Amino acid sequence: MSTQQQEPEQPESQEAPEDPEMRGAESPVDEKEKQGGDIDQQTTPESELEEESVLIKVFRYDPEVEGKQEPRFDDFHVPFEKGMTVLDAVMYARDTYDSSLTFRHSCRQAVCGSDAFFVNGKQRLGCKTQIADLSQPIRIEPLPHQEVVKDLVVDMDHFYDQMHTVEPYFQNEETPDASDLEEQRQSRENREKVKMSTRCIWCGACMSSCNIAAGDNEYLGPAAINKAYRFAMDNREPADVKEHRLRILEQEHGVWRCQTQFSCTEVCPKDIPLTEHIQELKREAVKKNLKFW
């Protein structure tokens, strides 16, 4: 375990000065922080400060280590590069300053969905969020409304449970005979209809942003309902399977819990119109139960 918790930037003092002062014209730092520039220029050698740095404040918590059980924020000064993402910054901080900094990440290209963080008060995907777009200092916290295991790692079990509740897999017993090499075709129109809903990467940002899901642990949540939408709207599934899916969704803690705050739609890193899908399933559920003919 690292012993430099308080001042993790100390060994790198040449790269990361006390004041995260920039000289470049495209500096992402606030106007406020630029004011201290004159003093800094006199005290530090010009040549060694070619690159800019960004200040990130990272949430730290480790229940297993004495003295780290109290949640706190650690500051890291990370040299800025063009195109740098939040994930790049925390990876740099981990590799350079403190190897005990813990977070999930894998593909780094917004496909695996493992690095959703609470960045500057909003759920964002670390690998898809540009440092240059954020105001500094950048606050990086674990996803709210989920229990923290360590640092930026949250317990996703509940999220996965809800995802599995809606049976997130294709169901059709009458598959065409494989010997004929026949395929299960989907019409172009139907593919377009479910296209956005198939983009979900199970990152949990929507569930974390949802006010209702926070207060009602049984609520399926936007991601699970979107998953159900993806299959319920797929016309290759027979009608009785769709009815079965709607029966799950129309329960008390299903689609009707949504109060259209649009929080999930706003944070979804894959731009899925979650609220629209939930609303459409509400209408489907009503149509299923209101049949006068």
Q: Does 135 bind another protein (CB under 8 A)?
A: no
**Candidate list 17, 71, 79, 168; residue touching another protein; CB under 8 A:** 71
List the interface residues with another protein, window 189-218 (CB under 8 A).
Answer: 209, 211, 214
Report the residue number, 185 or 283, with the smaller CB distance to another protein: 283
Give least dist CB 279 to another protein, A. Answer: 5
- CA dist 169 and 245 (Å) reads 11
DSSP state of 93: H
Q: Does residue 266 interact with another protein by CB under 8 A?
A: yes
Polymer length of the chain: 293
Which residues, numbered 92-121, are part of the site for another protein (CB under 8 A)? 118, 121
Cβ-based neighbours of 228, under 8 Å, separated by 6 or more: 166, 167, 168, 220, 245, 248, 249, 281
Among 263, 269, 270, 285, which residue sits at the site for another protein (rule: CB under 8 A)?
Answer: 263
Query: Could you say which of 11, 24, 144, 176 contacts another protein (CB under 8 A)?
Result: 144
Cβ closest to another protein, residue 35 vs residue 260 = 260
Q: Which is nearer to another protein, 80 or 229 (CB)?
A: 229
CA 100 to chain centroid? 22
Burial class for 1, CB neighbours closer than 10 Å (0-12, 13-18, 19+):
exposed
Are 99 and 2 in contact by the 8 Å Cβ rule? The answer is yes
Here the tokens at position 248 are 């799950």
Distance (Å, whole) CA 105 – CA 242: 35
Of 89, 104, 24, nearest in space to 55 by CA: 89
Judged by beta carbon, residue 170 or residue 262, the one nearer another protein is 262
- Selected binder of another protein within 148, 203, 246, 255 (CB under 8 A): 148
Tell me whether strands 122-125 and 72-80 are parallel, antiparallel or unpaired.
Answer: unpaired
Site for another protein contains 260 (CB under 8 A):
yes
Q: Which is nearer to another protein, 92 or 118 (CB)?
A: 118
Binding site for another protein (CB under 8 A): 63, 71, 118, 121-122, 141, 144-145, 147-149, 155, 209, 211, 214, 259-263, 265-266, 273, 275-276, 279-280, 282-283
